[in-house]
Amino acid sequence: MDLRTEISEFLRSRRARLTPERAGLGAGPGRRVPGLRREEVAVLASISVDWYVRIERGNLAGVSDEVLDALSAALQLDEAEAAHLADLARAARSSSRRPAGAGRKATLRPGLQIMIDSMQGLPAWARNHRFEIVATNALARALYADLLRSRIAAGNNARFTFLDPIAQDFYVDWEKTADDVVAVLRGYVGANPADRRLSNLVGELATRSPDFARRWAAYDVKYHRTGRKTLHHQVVGDLDLGFEALALPENSTLGLFVYYPADESTRERLQLLESWAATEERDQRPAGEGATDVGRLAARDGDRG
């Protein structure tokens, strides 16, 4: 990521989005562009025009938190956008832009995997900031079977969304899913500017997917904490799911996602999916492996007798 370009284009895009009417300035005569002028942003943020021009050219080094807050208010940034601006400023201030642990593959503690596995009846999975799935429970593996088996995706949901044609059937509202993936990914890039693997992922997607490149050029940022989506599973059909995303405090690059049925029909289909997954897992075991717990218990009790 070219930091100066990222800063400049992000601020330009937010300025262009904000109309004078929304900013409380009035349209006035002779306006050539729909968004705010630089001098208007400077007035709203109570800074000099020259200073704002310097900032919009990509220079956030030395800009205080108070000025960042003023810019966020002037441009009417939401929580995710304001956090992204703060991340960009933090990267600009840093003399060494490679934080400790940058580029390492995040893993779950064993206890967290046990917790995920214990969530019966609800798909639960964890991914990192590169959209790599790092842990699942049995129902999530069944739900995301197409993604996890995809050679194109290689376990990466961003690659699956934009590079595997199957994704457009799996995500019923693919357009919204694609928008969300790009906007969330941009926030991760701002928070992890030294992560080479993350930058390479963005470069790969921008090169191979015009849909991704077009969305990336919009400079949108958002959080993905809660919501609702419809997924189409080849075995059980459409599933209307709500979801909650939980941050893992020991590693800010990991997120835990839990889906729950949004209606009774989906609840029944999740139960069917769980039954199907159990059957698939049992059928894939080597012959004789796990030869019924009942049989082992009977043999043990017989030895005791």
**Residue 1: count of CB within 10 angstroms of its CB:** 19
pLDDT for 79 beyond 50:
yes
Q: DSSP characters for 255-298?
A: EEEEEEESSHHHHHHHHHHHHHHHHHHHHTSPTTTT--HHHHHH
pLDDT computed for residue 293 by the predictor? 38
Long-range contacts of 184-188 (CB under 8 A, 24+ apart): 184/222, 184/223, 184/224, 185/131, 185/158, 186/84, 186/216, 186/219, 186/220, 186/221, 187/80, 187/83, 187/84, 187/87, 187/221, 187/222, 187/223, 188/129, 188/130, 188/253
CA distance 59 to 266: 50
Look at 210 and 117; give whichever has higher pLDDT: 210
pLDDT computed for residue 295 by the predictor? 36
All structural domains of the chain, each given as residue ranges with its CATH number in brackets, are 3-93 (1.10.260.40), 110-283 (3.30.450.180)
pLDDT computed for residue 300 by the predictor? 39
pLDDT bin (cut points 50, 70, 90) of residue 294 is very low
Determine the average pLDDT of the residues in 200-206: 97
Query: Please, what's the largest Cα pairwise distance for the chain?
Result: 98
pLDDT bin (cut points 50, 70, 90) of residue 27 is low
pLDDT in tens, 125-166: 999 999 999 999 999 999 999 999 999 999 999 999 999 999
Give the phi and the psi of residue 269 in degrees, each rounded to 5: -70, -35
End-to-end, the C-alpha distance of the chain in Å comes to 70
CA distance 34 to 40: 13
CA distance 35 to 33: 6
Q: Considering only 63-72, 107-116, 158-167, which range has the smallest mean pLDDT?
A: 107-116
Q: Which residues contact 164 (CB under 8 A, 6 or more apart)?
A: 146, 147, 150, 152, 153
pLDDT for 40 beyond 60:
yes
pLDDT for 283 beyond 90:
no
**Which among 162, 152, 256 is positioned nearest to 206, based on CA atoms?**
162
pLDDT for 41 beyond 50:
yes
- Token representation of residue 242: 């709500």
- Token representation of residue 103: 């580029």
